[in-house]
Structure 1
Amino acid sequence: MINENTLHEYDSETKNAALISAMIAAFSMSFMGSSLNVALPSIGKEFGVSALFLGWIATSYLLSSAIFQVPFGRLADIYGRRRYFTLGMIIFTLSSLATVFVTNVVLFITLRVVQGIGGSMVFGTGVAILTSVFNARERGKVLGLNVAAVYTGLSAGPFLGGILTQNFGWRYIFLLNTSMCAAAVFFAAFKMKGEWAESGGESFDLIGSLIFAPGMFFLIFGLSSLPSTTGAAALILGILLLILFVIVEFRIKHPVMNMKLFFHNAVFAFSNLAALIHYASSFAVSFLLSLYLQYVKGFSPQAAGLVLMIQPVIMMAFAPAAGKLSDRFNPGKIASSGMAMTAAGLLMLVFINAQTPVYYTAAALIFIGFGFAFFSSPNTNAVMSSVERKDYSIASAALGTMRVTGQMTGLAIGMMALSIFIGTAKIEPSNMGEFIKAVQAAFMLSAALCITGIFASLQRNKR
C-alpha cells in the first residue's frame, strides 16, 4: 500500500469534472437497464418473441461488457483512463441513438452488444478516475455519490421508462438516454483534465486477453443457456479456459490481470467474491418482478415501474451515507450487513403468488434496497483502497467483471427457472401457475445464494 498523504492534491475544477462525468455515465447506464425491464413486454409484443428470448436483450449487453472490461481496464492503466472513459461513452452514445431506429430483434441485440463494449470501457475507468482524483479521506463519500447516481438511474428507469413506453413507445427510452450520454462525453472530453496512466510504459498482455475473452464468453453463454446440454458444455469450456487464463497470467511479466491480487490480497479477493455473490443473488429481481406485476397482477408498464422504483429509491437515499460510514469504519463489515438485508428481502419474495398484496412486494423491495445501499459503496471502497494506484483501473474492471458475471448468473437463475417451468412458450393465462412457480423457485435459489455470500463477505474481516 502507498501513503495517500504524499499524493498530488487535485484542484476543485478537476475533481468536479471527474465526479460529474462519472455520475452522469453511472446514471445513464443504470437508467438504460432498469427502464428496459419495464419495456420488455412491449418489445416482446412488437417483435413477437417469447419471454425467454427477451432475456437476451439484457444478456447480450452483459455478455459483451463482461468480455471486454478487464482488457480495457488494463489498457486504460497503460494509456490513460480519461481516454478510454471518453471513447467508451462515445460508443455507448452512438449505439443508443442507432437503437432508436432498429427494425428487427437481431439488429436490436447486435446494438446491445456494441453498447456493452462501450460500457465496458466506462465501467473499468469511471471508479478508477474517482479513486485517482480523490484522496482516501474523501473516497468513501465520493464513491457513495457515484453509487447514488447509479441508483438514481435505477429509480428513474422504471418510472420514466414506464411513462415513455406507455405514452410514446420504448424507442424513446434510447432517445432520452442518448442526450444524457452526450453530456457525459462533453464533460469527459472538454472539462476533465488529466489522463492517469500510472502503468504507462508497461506492455499489454495480448495472449492473456485472447484467452480471457472466449473464457468469459463461454462462461456467460453457458450460464444463460442452462439447463440445456449446450449450456452445460459451454459453461465447462468457459471454466477450463479461465483456469488456463489464471495459469498463464502467473507466468507473464505484465499480465492483463494481476492474479496476485486474488491470491495474496485477502480484502481484494473476498470483496470481489462478495460482489459476485451479491449481484448473482439479486439481479433477477427487477426482471422477474416486472413480468410478475404486468402478467400476473395486470399492472400497466407505468404502474409496474412505480412499484419497482421503490428499491432503487432506497438505494439512492442511503448509499451516500453508507459510503461516508465506510470512510470511518470497517467497510467489509458494513457491506456484510447489507448482504444480510438483501437476503431478508429475497426470502420474502419466495412466497409471492397471484393473491399477494402489492404492499408485501413493496416491503421486500425496501429490504433489498437497504441491502444494496449498505453493500455497494462500502464494498467498492474496500476493493479500491486495497490496491496501488497503478492498478486502479484493473481493480475497478475486476470488480465490474464480478458484478456483470454475478448479474449474468442471476439472470441465468431467472431464465433457467422460466425454461424449466414454461419452456419457450409465451406467458399466457393458461400457464400462469407454472410462471408463478418459476418465479418462486428463482427467488428461493437466490435467497440461499445470498445467505451463503454473507459468510464469504465476513471472511475478509478475519484476515
Structure 2
Amino acid sequence: MRRAALIAVTLTSFLTPFTLSSVNVALPTIGNEFKVDAITLNWIATAFLLSSAMFLVPFGRLADIKGRKRIFVIGVSIFTAGSLLSALSTSAEMLIAFRVLQGIGGAMVFSTGVAILTSVFSPQERGKVLGINVASVYTGLSLGPFFGGILTQNFGWRSVFIVNVPLGIIIALLTTLKLKAEWADARGERFDLVGSIIYSLMLVLIMLGVSESEITLIVAGLALLVAFILWESRVEYPVLEIRLFRRNVTFALSNLAALLNYAATFAVTYLLSLYLQYIKALTPQQAGFILIAQPVVQALLSPFAGWLSDRIEPRVVASAGMAVTALGLLIFSTIDENTEISMIVANLMIMGFGFALFSSPNTNAIMSSVERRFYGIASATLATMRVVGQMLSMAIVMLVFAIYIGKVSITPKVYPLLIDSIRTSFAIFSILCFFGIFASLARGEVRKKSLES
C-alpha cells in the first residue's frame, strides 16, 4: 500500500505543475486562435492558480473530516474532467471556466497528497519520501515548457490538456484499487462553511488587488482577513486551526519561509525566458534547454536533501538552501546584455542546489510539527503558501514592469528598460529570500520533537 500511495501522489505531484508550466508555452497559440487581448490571456493562466488557492485550505480540512483518499480521488477525477473540457473549449471564456474547474480539482489533490504520504510513512522515512515528492513537482515544472512546446507545435494547444486525461484515469484507478485504507483523523467534527467562504473571498480580493494594483480590493481583502481570524478563533471546529500559527512557532515560521521562497523564485524562469529570447535572441527551444538546468539539479538533489533532513535538523538544511538561493538571486540582479550564457547556466545550477536544500526539509519540518489530525490542513496550508507565493512573484514582476516599461510592446528600443526591470525584480527577490533565511532559522528544532512523539 505504501508503494501505491507514493506512486499515486508522486504522479499527481508531477502532473499538476507539468500542466501549469506547459500551458504557459501554449498561451500565444491560444491567443491567436481565440483572438483575445493580453489581460484575457493572462486570466487563462491565472484562473488555475487563483481557484486552487481559494479551495486548498477548505478541502484540506474536509479531507481531515471525510477522508484524505476520498478527497484525493475526487480531486484527480475533477482535474481530469477539467483537462478534457479545456481541450474541447470553443472560446476563451469557456477555457477560463474549465481552468477554474481544473484548479478546484488541483486544490483537492494539493491539499491531500502530502498528507497521505505523511500518514503512510513513519517519521524516520518521511524526509526521503517527501524529497521524492518534491523532486516530482520540479520535474513537472522543468519538463512542462519543453514538452508543452513540442505538443503545441506538432499537435496543437489542445494536446497539452488531452495528455492529462489518460494519466489522470490511471492515478484514480490506482488509488481506488490499491489504497485500501482511509485517513480521517478529524472524523465527526463539523465543517466550517462560513469560515471557508470568508477565507476564499479574502484570498480572491487580496490576489486581485495585488495583480491589478487596486488598493481598494487589497484593503477589503485585509478586512476579511481580520474577520476570518476573529471567526476562526471563536468557532469550535475551524476550517483553519489558528492555534497552529499562534502556538506552533515551527509551523508558522516554516510556512512563512515557504511563502517567501516561492514569492522570490517562481518568476525566475519567466524573467530569464524574456532575457534569453529578447536580449540574447535565442529561440524558445534554446532558452528551454538553458532554463532546464535549475529544475534538473533540484529534481536530482531533492531526495538527498529530504534524506539529509531525516538526520540533520531540517531548519539547518532549509536555511542553508534559502541562503544559497538568495545568493543566486543576488548574482542575477547584476545581469546585463553582456552576461555570458555559461554564467547563467552555472548560476541556475547553484539556485537548483539551493531550492533542493530548502524545499524537502521545509516540507518535512511543517508536516512533522503537527498532530496527525492536522495533516490535511497542514498539507493544504503549505500548498496555499506555494500558490499564493507564485501569484505574488508574478504580481511583483508585473508591478516592476509597469513602472519601468509601461503598457507597450517589447521592442529593441525598450530593451535597456527590460534589463533594468529584470535586474530590479531579481534584487527584490534576493531581499525576500534574505528575510526568509531568518524565518527559517527561527523555527526551532523539529527532528527531536518528531522522534520523541
TM bucket (normalised to shorter chain) is: over 0.9
Aligned counterpart, 2:98: 111
Map Cα deviations across residues 145-200 of structure 1 (whole Å, 9 max, x no partner): 11111122122212212322333333322222333222222212222212201100
- The residue that corresponds to 2:183 in the other structure is 196
What does residue 122 of structure 1 align with? 109
What's the CA shift for 1:52? 5.9
- Structure 2 counterpart of 1:167, from 134, 154, 173: 154
Q: Which residue of 2 aligns with 1:307?
A: 290
Equivalent position of 1:352 in the other structure: 335
Q: 1:416 to 1:340 in 2, by over 3 A?
A: same
What is the 5 A alignment of 1:21-40? 21-40=8-27
> Is the 1:52–1:415 contact (alpha carbons within 8 Å) kept by the matching residues of 2?
no
Counterpart contact for 1:333–1:461, Cα < 8 Å: no
Alignment check: 8 A CA contact 2:320 2:358 kept: yes
Q: CA 1:335–1:177 in structure 2 vs 1: closer, same or farther (change >3 Å)?
A: same
- Hey, what does 2:234 align to over in structure 1? 251
Per the alignment, residue 321 of structure 2 pairs with 338
* Partner Cα separation in structure 2 for residue 436 and residue 462 of structure 1: 42
- SS of residue in 2 equivalent to 1:461: coil
The reply to whether residue 287 of structure 1 matches residue 274 of structure 2 is no
Aligned length: 446
Give the Cα–Cα distance (whole angstroms) in 1 for the partners of residues 432 and 38 of structure 2: 24
Contact 1:97–1:175 (CA under 8 A) maintained in structure 2: yes
Counterpart-to-counterpart distance in 2, 1:340 and 1:167 = 41
Structure 1 match to 2:216: 233
Could you tell me which residue of structure 2 aligns to residue 155 of structure 1?
142
Aligned with 1:413: secondary structure? Answer: helix
CA shift digits 1:355-388 (9 cap, x unpaired): 3332222122112211111111111110111111
Q: Is the 8 A contact 1:162 1:305 kept in 2?
A: no
AA of the residue aligned to 1:56: W
Q: Is the 8 A contact 2:314 2:361 kept in 1?
A: yes
CA distance in 1 between counterparts of 2:35 and 2:110 reads: 33
- Residue 68 of structure 2 corresponds to 81
Give 1:238 shift.
1.1
Q: Which amino acid aligns with 2:21?
A: S
Q: CA deviation at 1:80?
A: 0.5
Unpaired runs of 5+ in structure 1?
1-13
Quick check: 1:158–1:304 contact (8 Å CA) kept in 2?
A: no
CA contact (8 A) 2:329 2:429 kept: yes
Q: Distance in 2 between matches of 1:363 and 1:125?
A: 36
Matched residues in 2 for 1:246 and 1:330: separation? 31
Equivalent of residue 168 in structure 2, options 181, 185, 194: 181
Task: Give 2:203's match in structure 1, choosing from 216, 224, 233.
Answer: 216
**1:44 Cα deviation after fit:** 4.3
Question: For the structure 1 residues 175 and 16, does the alpha-carbon distance in structure 2 shift closer, same or farther, using more than 3 Å as the test?
Answer: same
Aligned counterpart, 1:4: none
Contact 1:85 1:125 in 2 (8 A): yes
Name the TM-score, length of structure 1 as normaliser.
Answer: 0.92
Q: Residue 307 of structure 2 is aligned with which of 311, 315, 324? A: 324
Q: Percent identity?
A: 52
Partner of 1:439: 422
Determine if contact 1:124/1:393 at 8 Å carries over to the other structure.
yes
Q: Could you tell me which residue of structure 2 aligns to residue 7 of structure 1?
A: none
Distance (Å, rounded) in 1 between the aligned partners of 2:41 and 2:353: 29
Q: Retained in 1: the 8 A contact 2:313–2:445?
A: no
Mapped contact 1:90–1:185 kept (Cα < 8 A): yes
CA distance in 1, matches of 2:415, 2:90: 30
After TM superposition, give the deviation of residue 53 of structure 1 in Å. 5.4
Q: Say if 1:41 and 1:291, in contact at 8 Å, map to a contact too.
A: no
The correspondence for 1:379, drawn from 362, 365, 376, is 362
Question: Which one of 349, 354, 370 corresponds to residue 366 of structure 1?
Answer: 349
Cα distance, 1:287 vs structure 2: 2.1
Taking the aligned partners of 1:358 and 1:393, their CA distance within structure 2 comes to 43
- How far 1:45 sits from its partner (Å)? 4.5
Which residue identity lines up with residue 343 of structure 1 in the other structure?
Answer: A
Identify the range of structure 1 (154-163 vs 203-212) with the bigger mean alpha-carbon deviation.
154-163
Counterpart residue number, 1:9: none
The answer to whether structure 1 residue 414 and structure 2 residue 397 are counterparts is yes
Equivalent position of 1:266 in the other structure:
249
Alpha-carbon offset, residue 18 of structure 1: 0.7
> In the TM superposition, what is the alpha-carbon distance from 1:250 to its structure 2 partner?
0.9
Cα deviation, residue 207, structure 1: 1.5
Does the 8 A contact of 2:40 with 2:92 survive in 1? Answer: no
TM-score (norm 2): 0.94
Deviates more, 1:452-461 or 1:81-90: 452-461
Distance of 1:43 and 1:446 partners within structure 2: 30
Distance 1:291 1:181, change over 3 A: farther
Deviation at 1:16, TM superposition (A): 1.1
2 CA distance for matches of 1:146 and 1:20?
9
CA distance in 2, matches of 1:123, 1:371: 23
Answer whether contact 1:158 1:302 (CA < 8 A) is retained. no
Instruction: State the one-letter code of the partner of 1:272.
Output: N
How far is 1:312 from its partner?
A: 0.9
Aligned equivalent of 1:91: 78
Deviates more, 1:153-162 or 1:387-396: 153-162
Distance in 2 (alpha carbons) for counterparts of 1:53 and 1:423: 18
